[in-house]
Structure 1
């Protein structure tokens, strides 16, 4: 028999209800702030998995929120929620988002820590388990929160950059009614007649004042010509819609951008 004692009755109820749906595995009783489980030898792994699920679904976000508030002094609820969402995504996708594998896997840490203590004829406090067994796990949560904060700051900087470019665009008159932009390995500009604009001609379009703004770094090959020409419509042909520059063009020029496949460009040229 195992007794798990919680400080909060709500936590005991949540775990009990979570396991109740799978009660054909084990016998258990909810008694105020405790769950008493009759544990057979072959159900130890089941209980470990259920506790890991309880921690991940019920406690993990709360703990990261506490880290944000207490260690990094974030007080704005909306800001914290945004960072927590990023942290949660980083944890779930840690093996694909980052180029290096995390030093520890959060779920493996939880699983290993519980396997060490889940055994027959045991009574333990969940709070004590958290305090003394999850130090490495909390260090991992802290690391993911730090990464999420960095990601959040980059997002904020990018949004400020995009807004500054929108303001630049809003103050300009269109020098071409439309522009055709083809992106495969590189960006190639065409005018409204389908004639390619070489680099020399694009440089002549560029307004030097854009490049003199020390507070705003503007790409000279793509963004600077687009801002300087300020076309009313940009016909963008590409298969790489998630490319950073493509995303930025769409964010800055918004409804002016019309998206097509690369194959549609030749059809367009034949109709001009």
Structure 2
């Protein structure tokens, strides 16, 4: 059980609505205080952080983008603010050490402890601005960088799409997608040898796509340019698979690894 105090009725009402829709038991103690019963500290902490971001921090970030970074296109501003929200409110960048620290800093100020009996939202918000105002420019800078990288990546994908569309189609390819090894098969069931694939890659003008050439999951398929690509895997959420789908579009079909039609012995 914890009491949460507010200075702003709008902030309090937003949290009340969230608690109501999430079916969390609570009661109003006064006009500026609510009491939450049998709460999940992590969930409520997430809601408090979201409340702060969308009602306090986001307008400030938007103003800074216009005045200091000279962004005036609202679509660009929205894209940067979306990335900023992902950096601060989600674990999307948890494996990127120089990005995850932003979220950790943010959550430090909006985390309820299991033994905590009272939490003052306004005081924590002001404490954030006094101690962690550096995060404002930091998250904007990193969000802008992420947006630029994404734009470059989209240009790269488009160039690969155009490349495979202009080349003649090869025969269909079956791919056995495993964590430690990816094997490529002809429709007859014969496995392409590494030597064959390396020779195909050397003979194919993909040297201008250095990133793709270094990706052993992608470069063989660029060289083969199959009419259909049948991939058998237990990890359909692998980001490389999404890249392949972006390049080859509807030519990529994904199936459970257990349904792979050929036997293979090393």
Q: Do both share a fold (TM > 0.5)?
A: yes
CA distance in 2 between partners of 1:60 and 1:263 (Å): 48
Q: Is the 8 A contact 1:109 1:137 kept in 2?
A: no
Question: Contact 2:109–2:128 at 8 Å: present in 1 too?
Answer: no
Residue 10 (structure 2) aligns with: 14
Partner of 1:31 in structure 2?
none
Q: How does 1:66-77 map to 2 (within 5 A)?
A: 66-77=63-74
CA contact (8 A) 2:6 2:121 kept: no
- 2 CA distance for matches of 1:175 and 1:116? 62
Q: State yes or no: 1:240 paired with 2:235.
A: yes
Contact 2:170–2:224 (CA under 8 A) maintained in structure 1: yes
- Do the aligned partners of residues 117 and 160 (structure 1) sit closer, same or farther apart at CA in structure 2, a change above 3 Å counting? closer
Gaps of 5+ in 2: 18-25, 37-44, 113-118
Alignment of 1:119-138 (within 5 A): 134-138=129-133
| 2:173 and 2:185 in contact (8 A); partners too | yes
Is the CA contact 1:210–1:218 (under 8 Å) kept in the aligned structure 2?
Answer: no
C-alpha distance after superposition, 1:120-147 (max 9, x if no partner) = xxxxxxxxx96x9714333213222222
Compute the TM-score of the two structures, normalised by the length of structure 1: 0.69
Report deviation, 1:209.
5.2
Pairing 1:217–2:221 present: no
Mapping of residues 33-182 of structure 1, within 5 Å: 55-93=52-90, 96-99=94-97, 102=101, 105-109=105-109, 134-176=129-171, 178-182=172-176
- SS, match of residue 25 in structure 1: strand
- The RMSD of aligned alpha carbons is 3.7
Q: CA deviation at 1:242?
A: 3.0
Change (3 A) 1:269 1:67: same
Partners of 1:236 and 1:260 within 8 A in 2: yes
Match for residue 28 of structure 2? 24
Q: Which residue is 2:115 aligned to?
A: none
Give me the whole-angstrom Cα distance separating, in 2, the residues matched to 1:262 and 1:16: 50
Larger Rg: 1
- Tell whether the 8 Å contact from 2:175 to 2:182 is kept in structure 1 after alignment: yes
TM-score by length of 2: 0.70
CA contact (8 A) 1:65 1:80 kept: yes
CA apart distance, 1:179: 0.3
**Count of paired positions:** 230
Deviation at 1:115, TM superposition (A): 5.4
CA spacing shift, 1:140–1:232, aligned 2, 3 Å: same
Q: How far does residue 248 in structure 1 lie from its aligned partner after superposition? A: 1.5
**Partners of 1:238 and 1:212 in 2: CA distance:** 28
CA contact (8 A) 2:15 2:51 kept: no
